[in-house]
A and B are shown apart, each in its own frame.
Chain A
Amino acid sequence: MSSMSSGSKRLGLAAAAMLSIATLTLTGCAGGGGASNEGDGSESTSVTVFNGATGTIAENFNPFSSTALQPTLGVIFESLFWYNAASDEPPTPLLAESFEWNEGGTELTITTREGVQWSDGEPFTANDVAFTFNLVNETPELNTTGLAATAEATDDTTVVLTFEENSFMQEPSVLGNRGIVPEHIWQDVADPITEINSNPVGTGPFKVSTFSAQSYLLEKNDLYWEEGKPAIDEVRYISLDSADAATGALLAGDVDWMSSFLPGLEQILADNETLSYVNTPALTASIFTCSNEELGCEGPQTDPAVRQAIYQGIDREQLNALAGGGFAGTASPTLVLPERDSEWIVDPENSETPTNANVEEASRILEEAGWVEGSDGIREKDGERLSLGIQTVTGYSDFISLNDAMSQQLREVGIELNPTAITYNEWINNLNIGQFQLTLESIGLQPSNNPYYSYEKWYNSENTTPVGESALNNNTGRYSNPVVDEALAVARATNDEDVQKEQYGIIQDEIVEDMPYIPIYINSLLTEFNTARATGWPTNEDPYALAATWKSWDNGIVLKNITPAE
């Protein structure tokens, strides 16, 4: 009994101690609050970027790694050329000055820039370029672009890449999507696959200053080759978990540059003179259909008439107002971007999607195909109801809104949509193995503005698989059309844009008719800026680079061109 009571006394004492610690901690917090934070007294200009990173940050500045931190490509390491995803201009020379193909597309000669130094002071030469490409070619784990070429530096400023076969179409990934590394460092790297390169030596405008799991700081590379650039001293990258947190940080002045879709953006930014935004729609939100019965797709969407009817039956103006925040751009049924790539659209008829619902046209198409109205207003054919499942990801609230609105609109033409929201993992898996009728997805950016890359990826029957096997994020609509395949083969074998354009005309006529991917609109791509610390961000009038913070390569261009605010 006595031991018990002393035991309880100990517990009681412990509890009392805890309590006093607790109150101490609490008051301690309140006291410390006022002192810290605030105060940017230093002269140097520092901007903070939120590039969509969430949670803890793992150090990785290896430009070959798929999980490298995003500024590794473009900000710390540079490519030979840079392809501006925001405008229709020829590639800009960075570490190279020019390039030339031989006739058969098997030999690429690149002249590199003179007078470039690595951030450790060593000179940059053509040997570094050759070393980089040979390393990729010899290491399958790093070869994410399907490179099959050997490189040789013929002198200090010339490097020749020799391909096994006609490789015109490798051009943008070789020139614009490969960070060049210094041979004098990387020749000693034991395992380039797992190397995290914590103290990276690159040619880019910035180099790493400090790193922690919550944030990392880049500082100006004083040896940068372009005169007078960069103009700002430091770039900090932070991690935030939600759009709400990002909004809060932007309003509090804790973030200078971020790309988040914020509903009610105008209203949120209204009271802040230094905050502005730019909208550069680039990704086409589309309804992907499992279109090919022969490859195992099931459901009414395998009938092209149904796909056409959906294309005609949705009211894009309302969709933009309700789901797109009014920021969406007009898409093209050819799946290229009508504004940037207008020269690639052969038949002007195909240049833009309808704006409003064309209920009569949609109904006519369905009637002709034999879909007749049933008792509940939903059409039927041979006992099959015109009812379609449409999938999207739980977190994508704008896509969920799209589904709500489209369900309502398509009921007018007798089509029933059954939306489901599933986890990202499940959704991407379903998309790849063809376990869907309709699903919402964006047509992404390609290596260059040449539509070849889009058409090859989404329409070539070689890039698809039967339902049940993964289509590897490529032709997930299971589209198969010999005419398109043939035209792609012709376009691939040349770098004559006129020949290519002729082939694209053939492809465009086919896909506008078959519509395996039904374009809705071009999703807004909103980027928010704070001009209190730095100005000169890309605008719609001067789209000198794609403004999105998550876009590799373009980031480096933006960061070296912005200037300290007055």
Chain B
Amino acid sequence: MKYILQKLGFYLVAFWAALTVNFFLPRLLPGNPVDIMLSRLAQRGPVSPEAREAVELMLGTNTDAPLVVQYWQYLGKLFSFDLGTSVAYFPASVTDIIGQTLPWTIGLIGIATVISFVIGVTLGTLAGWKRGSWLDNLIPVTTMLQSVPYFWLALILLFVLGGMWQIFPINGGDNVYETNPGWGWDFIGSVIYYGTLPALTIVISSVGGWMLGMRNMMVSTLSDDYILTAEAKGLRPMRIMTTYAARNAVLPSVAGFAISLGFVVAGSIVTEAVFSYPGIGSALLNAVGNNDYSLMQGLFLVITLSVLGANLLVDLLYSFIDPRTRARS
């Protein structure tokens, strides 16, 4: 119990540190949202010199409060879940933007990451168990797939499967022409259909990593003496593989899995750029492009929470699976 409390305290500190970084980082970016909005406006039509003052007033950016004061205001607002107003999507609130983009990202990238992990670890276990088998020899191939630049592979698949053969739709998250968001089957069906190709590209390019990592650990674990003992005791190979070897070998993979789950949000940027997917990654790119501090902070907060949460989970899980990590001498 003391261990868990210690952990929780530790994560609180990490969370605070991350919040502080999140506050200061966007403010160090060059430029300011007003200039950017003005130049965007100028692309649509003429903008008079007076526009600047109007935009400043509208966005409330001509604040002269010192940074420290802004910092306390920021922390205070966070605890009342007020993430502020987006500049790029003014007057929409940051919470709204996150609300309408996050489900897409979690749905697509989250599921794809889980699928990839499960397939990768399973295949890696088998490959490590039977070294030299065809599966083991497949590893260089899957590793090669993992070394292919993701967007390159995705663009080629998109071009071939979406453009040339037209098996899959080429952009978007759902069929906007015929369905409206809701819980109807036609909408959900179109979301699944539109998500298949992006998910497929993610799985193809990431499964090799899980497979190789698991296989390496499996091989290394299999040489431990307790495996030999288990063999000597005449235990069924299946039992040795799952209960004795894989269970211990999977530890680093689980840690990696938590980290990658935490980075589902941050890692979605490229995927969403390729497939014009309406998720949080493209919102982040837009926020960065518009110096939209509030939206960036809101998105950072989501990223921070997911990464820290995933890590905390792993720490607790570790202490459960492997009591040795709990013991401190």
Contacts and interface: CB of A to CB of B under 8 A. Distances in A.
Chains A and B in contact, CB within 8 Å: yes
B186 interface: yes
A98 interface: no
Contact of A66 (B37, B172, B180, B321): B37
A213 interface: yes
B252 to A, nearest CB: 15
Contacts of B291: 425
B204 to A, nearest CB: 12
Contact of B51 (A56, A67, A145): A145
A65 B58 CA distance: 9
A51 to B, nearest CB: 10
Interface string B223-247: 0000000000000000000110001
Interface in A9-52: 9, 11-12, 15, 18-19, 22, 25-26, 28-30, 32-33, 35-37, 39, 48
B119 interface: yes
A212 interface: yes
Nearest to A444: B42
Given A56-B101, A238-B172, A141 B44 contact: no
Contact of A214 (B32, B51, B174): B174
A207 interface: no
A49 B36 CA distance: 24
Interface stretch (A156-164, A242-250, A408-416, A477-485): A242-250
B282 interface: yes
A405 B275 CA distance: 32
B172 A29 contact: no
Interface stretch (B68-76, B110-118, B135-143): B110-118
A312 interface: no
B49 A472 contact: yes
B243 A446 contact: no
A238 B176 contact: yes
Given A15-B121, A425-B36, A30 B196 contact: yes
A196 B91 contact: yes
Contacts of A60: 89-92
Contacts of B55: 66, 144
Nearest to A19: B118
B195 A56 contact: no
Given A58-B97, A142-B54, A252 B170 contact: yes
B58 A215 contact: no
A474 B289 contact: no
Nearest to B159: A248
A: contact size bracket: 35 or more
B175 interface: yes
Contact of B45 (A11, A146, A193, A445): A445
Contacts of B67: none
A54 interface: yes
B121 to A, nearest CB: 7
A392 interface: no
Contacts of B276: 54, 239-242, 245
A304 B282 CA distance: 44
B100 A56 contact: yes
A142 to B, nearest CB: 7
Given A446-B46, A473-B39, A56 B283 contact: yes
A375 interface: no
Interface stretch (A291-299, A490-498, A548-556): A548-556
B170 A22 contact: no
Given A5-B243, A55-B286, A58-B89, A32 B189 contact: yes
A467 B184 CA distance: 59
A144 B189 contact: no
B176 to A, nearest CB: 4
Contacts of B155: 244
Interface string B114-156: 1100110110000000000000000000000000000000010
Contacts of A59: 92
B289 A29 contact: no
A140 interface: yes
Contacts of B97: 56, 58
Given A426-B31, A473-B47, A67 B101 contact: no
A177 interface: yes
A479 to B, nearest CB: 15
A35 B88 CA distance: 37
Contacts of A11: 247, 321
B183 to A, nearest CB: 14
B163 A248 contact: yes
Given A5-B243, A55-B282, A425-B29, A36 B176 contact: no
Contacts of A254: 170-171, 177
A290 B257 CA distance: 52
Nearest to A36: B190
A143 interface: yes
21 contacts: A8-B242, A18-B118, A26-B115, A32-B189, A33-B168, A37-B175, A55-B285, A56-B89, A56-B279, A66-B51, A73-B45, A144-B48, A144-B51, A193-B58, A214-B181, A241-B275, A241-B282, A424-B36, A425-B31, A425-B36, A429-B35
Interface of A: 4-5, 7-9, 11-12, 15, 18-19, 22, 25-26, 28-30, 32-33, 35-37, 39, 48, 54-56, 58-60, 65-67, 70, 73, 140-146, 172-173, 177, 193-196, 210, 212-215, 236, 238-242, 244-245, 248-249, 251-252, 254, 423-426, 428-430, 432, 444-447, 453, 457, 463, 470, 472-474, 550-553
Given A18-B118, A144-B54, A429-B30, 18 more contacts: A25-B111, A26-B196, A29-B195, A32-B189, A32-B190, A33-B167, A36-B193, A54-B282, A56-B282, A140-B53, A140-B57, A141-B58, A173-B46, A212-B181, A214-B181, A239-B278, A241-B273, A445-B46
Interface of B: 29-32, 35-39, 41-55, 57-58, 85-86, 88-92, 96-97, 100-101, 111, 114-115, 118-119, 121-122, 155, 158, 162-163, 166-178, 180-181, 186, 189-190, 192-193, 195-196, 199, 242-243, 247, 272-276, 278-279, 282-283, 285-286, 288-289, 291, 320-321
Q: Which 9 A-B pairs have the closest CB atoms?
A: A146-B50, A58-B89, A55-B282, A215-B176, A429-B31, A29-B196, A425-B31, A194-B91, A144-B51
